[in-house]
Amino acid sequence: MSNVMVMDHPLIQHKIGIMRNKNTSTKEFRALVAEVAMLIYYEASRNLALADKEIETPLVKTTVKEIAGKKLCVVPILRAGLHMADGILNLTPNAKVGHIGLYRNEETLEPVEYFCKLPVDVTEREVFLVDPMLATGGSAIAAIDLLKARGISKIRFLCLIAAPEGIDALKNAHPDIDIYVGAQDERLNENGYILPGLGDAGDRIYGTK
Ligand code: PRP
Ligand code: URA
């Protein structure tokens, strides 16, 4: 079964609190998405494998650690995941980036795919799939279906806010995926929005409403 890690770090809780406030500006909201993503990624990357590497300091030869293997790939779900990816790339600037375009049909709440572009060697990489909101779970499940259909198996999902309904749906659909959550909220409303939530993440990042 999936591990679900809900972050308890005070910085994450503080910053998500500011994001929830409807009076927070687009500019500040956008910066906070990247900052909180970076902090969640710090936890989500904790168990990456390390390998030894021989180097020389200015004084002596020594052995240091580096992240093992073909390394990392960040995959934002468009649109709102893009700014999470920006934050993560501050910490691991050499990670490759894939993009998955999905939006929710406003009536059915079913995800609609419109774009997918992934690095050619993505199956050899640890994939960090990112989207600020896990509501019904439909978008995250569809994105992981899509990644698995392309032969990708090492996937972690990172979000800022999750509804219990979305966590359950994602755990049931993909029990092998670990889920990293900034804050777990109370429930979905009748329109599939997370309560108390922060509203529509894409609209708040881009100022489209
Ligand atoms: C939001 C969000 C997720 C999805 C979550 O995107 O960024 O992708 O909803 O909802 P779900 O768990 O019920 O699928 P949206 O569909 O609003 O698209 P946008 O990012 O293009 O605005
Ligand atoms: N998508 C969002 O952006 N916000 C929600 O509360 C639910 C889905």
Match 């894939």 to its residue by tokens: 98
Whether omega for the bond prior to residue 196 falls within 30 degrees of 0, making it cis, is yes
Q: Ligand nearest 208 Cα, by number?
A: 1
Query: Exposure pattern of 19-36 as b/e (b: 16+ CB <10 Å)?
Result: beeeebeeeebbebbbbb
Query: pLDDT at position 209, please?
Result: 83
Query: pLDDT at position 167, please?
Result: 98
Catalytic, 108? Answer yes
Q: How many CA atoms lie within 13 A of 111 on its CB side?
A: 22
C-alpha torsion sign, points 65, 71, 77, 82: positive
At how many degrees (to 10) do helices 10-20 and 26-44 cross?
150
Distance 53 CA to ligand 2 centre (A): 44
What does the pLDDT average to over 101-116? 93
Neighbours of 113 (CB within 10 A): 14
| pLDDT bracket for residue 35 (50, 70, 90) | very high
Q: Are strands 96-97 and 99-104 parallel, antiparallel or unpaired?
A: unpaired
Instruction: Kindly report, residue by residue over 55-99, the tens digit of the pLDDT.
Output: 999 999 999 999 987 789 999 999 999 999 999 999 999 999 999
Q: Are 100 and 149 in contact (CB under 8 A)?
A: no
| pLDDT bracket for residue 44 (50, 70, 90) | very high
Query: pLDDT at position 106, please?
Result: 87
Query: pLDDT at position 68, please?
Result: 87
Among the residues of the chain, which ranges form H helices? 10-20, 26-44, 81-91, 138-149, 164-173, 201-206
What does the pLDDT average to over 137-157? 96
Distance 105 CA to ligand 1 centre (A): 9
Query: pLDDT at position 2, please?
Result: 83
Whether 182 is in the pocket of ligand 2, judged by its Cβ within 6 Å, is no
Best mutation site among 104, 198, 206 for ligand 1 pocket (most ligand atoms within 8 Å of CB): 104
What does the pLDDT average to over 12-26? 98
Minimal CA–CA distance to 88: which of 156, 20, 152, 26? 156
Query: pLDDT at position 82, please?
Result: 97
| pLDDT bracket for residue 153 (50, 70, 90) | very high
Q: Are 19 and 160 in contact (CB under 8 A)?
A: yes
Dihedral in degrees, nearest 10, Cα atoms 31, 198, 136, 113? -40
Instruction: Tell me: pLDDT of 144 over 90.
Output: yes
